Structure formats: C-alpha cells, structure tokens
Amino acid sequence: MNGSSRRLLLASTSPYRRELLSRLRLPFQCVPPRVDETPSSGEAPAALASRLAGEKAAEVHAREPDAFVIGSDQVADLEGRVLGKPGNFESAVAQLRAMSGREVAFHTALCVIGPGFRESAVDTTVVRMRDLGNDEIARYLQAEPAFDCAGSFKAEGLGIGLFEAIDSRDPTALVGLPLIATARLLRNGGFALP
C-alpha cells in the first residue's frame, strides 16, 4: 500500500490542529479521541504531553486499525507547573499575570500510529513574555478571548504582541501541531510528502 492510498486520521477536535495539518495537503479526517486528560500525580509537563499524544493516537487507532492516526497534545510549563486551558476570563487573566515577564515552555508532543508503525516526537518552544499590566491583559482578552488555548493566548493572532521573544525550532508547534516533525513521521510511515 503506498502513502497516497493510506487513510489518515487526526485524533483531535482542535480547529487549530485541523488547520495546521491541512497545510500538508494530505486528505485526512478528524476523529475525537476518548481519553482522560487528567495529569498523573507528579507527572512532568513534557511527559504529560507525550503520554496524552500517545494515548489519543492509540485510542483512535484501536477503533480504526487500518488507518494511520496522528495524536498530539500541548502542555504549557511555567517553571514545572502545568498551565491548562483557562476556560474563562478570570482564569485567563490569572494565567497571563503569572506568566508576565517570565519564560514559559510549551511542550507539543506528537505520536503517529499505523499498521506496524509507531513513532513519536516532542517539540519544545520557549516563549518570553513581556511585563504585562492588568489593563493590557484585560484589553487583550476582550479583543481575543483565548480561553481554549493553554497559556491564554493565540500566537497566530493578536497574542503575538504579548511576547518579548520566541525560541523555537518549528513555529507551528506553538499553535498546536509541529508540522516539521509531523511531516517527518508521516514520511517515515510511507506517506509521499515533499
């Protein structure tokens, strides 16, 4: 079976990951993974991202064993503390206040599982946040309510203005799916990509 005839599934409901994967111009479908995303006690942020990416891919692959499945997860890491999706304005304000003037690592993990194939990767992007005032935080969140994003900002949008610098090997990783690693793993699995 060649790469062009393999079914590709994205184990995600994220519109950000769907948009990113579409850039590779491979046909794919999104399948919601049924995975408990609760961190284990004492689990490091990068380990959490890796475990969840693998569990998402494995859970969907168990239902669709003939397909190649991409699982991905991103965990924001503020000095070893996991920052999840804020979910509301108050939590987002608290996250941005905590990150103000500090470095935050974003671990974006990836796992591709297919028939007789499993490979994983993790990309870590470090964001240096500017010193943010309370009014500036409130204005940003009113203009771009990033309540479904770990770290409470959208780097692909207005949130980029909150940064002092980004240290990354792959600019797509911060948005939610490291396309450089994704393309590499898919090529390793037999997909025809540039």
The per-residue pLDDT for 39 is 85
Q: For residue 178, give the DSSP letter.
A: -
The per-residue pLDDT for 38 is 87
Q: How far is CA 66 from CA 27, 121, 124, 183, in A?
A: 15, 22, 31, 20
Which residues of the chain fall short of a pLDDT of 50? Answer: 1-4
What CA–CA distance (Å, rounded) separates 102 from 155? 16
What CA–CA distance (Å, rounded) separates 71 from 49? 10
192: nearest Cα among 3, 29, 24, 6: 3
Q: How far is CA 181 from CA 17, 76, 124, 186, in A?
A: 14, 19, 12, 9
The per-residue pLDDT for 7 is 95
The per-residue pLDDT for 3 is 44
The per-residue pLDDT for 125 is 96
Is 120 within 8 Å of 110 (Cβ atoms)?
yes
What CA–CA distance (Å, rounded) separates 151 from 154? 9
Q: How far is CA 105 from CA 7, 23, 74, 125, 173, in A?
A: 33, 25, 10, 6, 11
The per-residue pLDDT for 5 is 64
What CA–CA distance (Å, rounded) separates 68 from 72? 13
150: nearest Cα among 71, 96, 86, 107: 86
The per-residue pLDDT for 2 is 42
Q: Domain 3-188, CATH 3.10.560.10 — does that match? A: no
The per-residue pLDDT for 96 is 96
Q: Give the up-direction half-sphere exposure of residue 119: CA atoms within 13 A in the CB hemisphere.
A: 13
Q: Which residues are known catalytic residues?
A: 73
The per-residue pLDDT for 153 is 93
* pTM of the predicted structure, to 2 decimals: 0.90
3-state secondary structure at position 172: coil
